[in-house]
Structure 1
């Protein structure tokens, strides 16, 4: 760990590892007692909050998966993510390409996010209709894997955390009934997509999670390439497995868009810049912003104000509880109101760094 007082003290940090942890929270560390004392004027206001977060940090890491962390990094695979994918023979393959640090340029890869496959056997991925519809709201990865008859060593959660977190947030927003406003449709505005743009096929799983519902998702963000602005993507099947004889192959090449269950439209730019155009034809039941980093990016401020004016329910997620706390402070400051849904664990989110990587 890096010394928490780095840059605050006149004298530089002592050499070696900052292994002197705060006795109150255990969340921050220092290189020396002197630096710990200097940092206290900053840390004293956050120490109790950090201590509370540390008390249940293990719960955030208790995923049921059995796929293993990679061995030590080497010169060929300096990234833990790339090394992990190589260990399960998925590096630079299909939907997994954008998980690497080897390049994520989405502009020239139009269609890859829909046509790419799981590159896994049918027993390891959700490539076809579920055996049974969802009987009750799924609350954990273990429940999802059991419902989809997947073994816990299947890595598909790495890609499915986008649609499954979205599914969980729909439940939180209390729109979990199969009919929305008297119609079989669900409209969502999805803010700030990045590598999801190369993993859109994974959103086909929403067909199983919301059976008989036409789902319309507006993907809005500055990372959408200009060449893809306005592009409409129809997903009428699940991403295919690698088994040549699997039934999932029978739908390949289908041009019948009348059976499309998930429609995605891409918009380049910030939501507050494009909102007026989007709302002309698409009024959402939910606005969703995954891993938003609200406190880190001032560009969220006018977007949050715009959402406040519309009165549409919105859920933001972030990469850790402290980031969510800082985001909630920013949101409450802008809206002048406390959050209607308190900060909580989003049980269906996953980050490999939480799984020992």
Structure 2
């Protein structure tokens, strides 16, 4: 059983050694391959010699250890009610066409090293810069390891009270990290304390020198549309690993401006300020980097932005805050920021919702507790089809006509969630919508780098794809009429050896 300290420490040492080997030039030793160990998608066993790693030659997305396993997976679901590979293969092939795009994003960075399996190690990248760890690593703090999420209840139920379970939960405790722990202090981290990087790599929110100052975004030719343009606007070298954290605030920007179109950098002016109320649901790691959402105030000049964060991790943090009188997390708002006058003097206020669930009714209603209906609801890496708690949010967004969009790791999962929209809305009395209304797109502000998935090679990236859950659209001849009465009231396969 490995501890968090040993785990993070060993990766940091390996990352530093890798950097040294790269500087020496020549072939990189095989010991520096941080790709994941392949697992058969059918039998779920590690693929070790003398077995060869095989994959479907049609979609090239699914990994197997043998032809019998591939044939079984083609026609037999891996679990009850799960789709077979036969039903997914053609979609997998289409999704794999995105892989060059996602790989191009990470290849644009000097630290964006692809492993032998095509994946990118976030932990190794952090280790290069000495910012890998849990508590005490500023904005980089995260659980990591085998326990990336705080809520492990379903896992506990699955493995039960066994010797293995006892060892596993000891390891979980070693990796434990309270998201937002820095908010139990008396003051927010400075840019230097939060980023823990050389000055030239930091996207300052408080401009300390003219060299760090950012021009008014509306004066930046071409606008901020991807990582390249953001780095140029921010005057950052691509050597900076800032994109490994800024994917969260910039993904929220993408959802609001490009996907939902609830505002734009040109919406406000010195004489016309724009109020913007946004609710972020399911916040976890975001709690470790709340000051980074100041970027929204820089990207949206002459706005007054209110962010309200919801989630189990938010509630857990607030419970801990009761033990620390006067800490940041006990205040409301928990964070404020005003951008420089020359950047549009926008304001940002961040609030933490006191209960874990997003509710549309009652005294803790999200629709009345923070100044009325939000202008938009967003969520990062939401997993709409994985948690029952999303269903009332989806329904309320449609019934109240609240713009709602999320990011998802994979295009496949986003499409699966889109296909379930009629089911999510069943019983509401709403007229059905065409599924193409739920737009899915590649997110240009995804975290660079493919996640290591042992059984699949499909594009799978943190904040990788955007999904529009609800958005008002102009009616045309082919569009389903949304103005229902209720709407008015509530407004055969071959294989190839894997290289």
Same fold by TM-score greater than 0.5: yes
CA RMSD of aligned residues (A): 3.3
- For residues 15 and 205 of structure 1, the distance between their equivalents in structure 2, rounded to whole angstroms, comes to 46
Q: From the superposition, tell whether residues 168 and 40 of structure 1 become closer, same or farther in structure 2 (CA, over 3 Å).
A: same
Out of 81, 98, 101, the position equivalent to 1:56 is 98
The alpha carbon displacement at 1:133 in A equals 2.5
Out of 236, 248, 267, the position equivalent to 1:178 is 267
1:120 corresponds to 2:197: yes
1:247-262 residue pairs with structure 2 within 5 A? 261-262=347-348
Please, which runs of 5 or more residues in structure 1 have no aligned partner? 73-78, 239-246, 248-258
Q: Which residue of 2 aligns with 1:243?
A: none
Contact 1:3 1:31 in 2 (8 A): yes
- For residues 130 and 267 of structure 2, the distance between their equivalents in structure 1, rounded to whole angstroms, comes to 38
Query: 2:59 is paired with a residue of what secondary structure?
Result: coil
- Indicate the structure (1 or 2) with the bigger Cα radius of gyration: 2
Q: From the superposition, tell whether residues 56 and 81 of structure 1 become closer, same or farther in structure 2 (CA, over 3 Å).
A: closer
Q: Which moved more, 1:279-288 or 1:105-114?
A: 105-114
Deviations 1:171-192 (A, max 9, x none): 2212224249x75211111111
Q: Which residue of 2 aligns with 1:104?
A: 177
Q: Which residue of 2 aligns with 1:264?
A: 350
1:1-357 residue pairs with structure 2 within 5 A? 1-6=38-43, 16=49, 19-41=53-75, 42-63=84-105, 64-69=108-113, 80-92=121-133, 93-98=137-142, 100-101=144-145, 102-106=175-179, 108-110=181-183, 114-115=188-189, 116-127=193-204, 128=207, 129-135=213-219, 136-171=222-257, 172-174=259-261, 175-176=263-264, 177-179=266-268, 183-228=273-318, 231-236=332-337, 261-267=347-353, 268-272=355-359, 277-280=365-368, 281-335=371-425, 336-337=432-433, 338-353=435-450
Deviations 1:237-275 (A, max 9, x none): 68xxxxxxxx9xxxxxxxxxxx77111111131213678
- For residues 285 and 273 of structure 1, the distance between their equivalents in structure 2, rounded to whole angstroms, comes to 15
Query: 1:316 is paired with a residue of what secondary structure?
Result: strand
Q: From the superposition, tell whether residues 185 and 147 of structure 1 become closer, same or farther in structure 2 (CA, over 3 Å).
A: same
Q: Which residue of 2 aligns with 1:253?
A: none
Aligned residue pairs, count: 327
Contact 1:290 1:316 in 2 (8 A): yes
The alpha carbon displacement at 1:34 in A equals 1.7
The alpha carbon displacement at 1:343 in A equals 1.1
Q: Which moved more, 1:168-177 or 1:99-108?
A: 99-108
Deviations 1:211-254 (A, max 9, x none): 2211101111122134527842233268xxxxxxxx9xxxxxxx
Q: From the superposition, tell whether residues 45 and 334 of structure 1 become closer, same or farther in structure 2 (CA, over 3 Å).
A: same
Query: 2:110 is paired with a residue of what secondary structure?
Result: coil
- For residues 304 and 330 of structure 1, the distance between their equivalents in structure 2, rounded to whole angstroms, comes to 11
The alpha carbon displacement at 1:108 in A equals 4.7
Q: From the superposition, tell whether residues 261 and 146 of structure 1 become closer, same or farther in structure 2 (CA, over 3 Å).
A: same
Please, which runs of 5 or more residues in structure 2 have no aligned partner? 1-37, 76-83, 146-174, 208-212, 320-329, 426-431, 453-459, 462-499
Contact 1:27 1:50 in 2 (8 A): yes
- For residues 323 and 105 of structure 1, the distance between their equivalents in structure 2, rounded to whole angstroms, comes to 28
Q: From the superposition, tell whether residues 122 and 13 of structure 1 become closer, same or farther in structure 2 (CA, over 3 Å).
A: closer
Q: Return the TM-score normalized by structure 2.
A: 0.59
Contact 1:3 1:18 in 2 (8 A): no
Contact 2:382 2:407 in 1 (8 A): yes
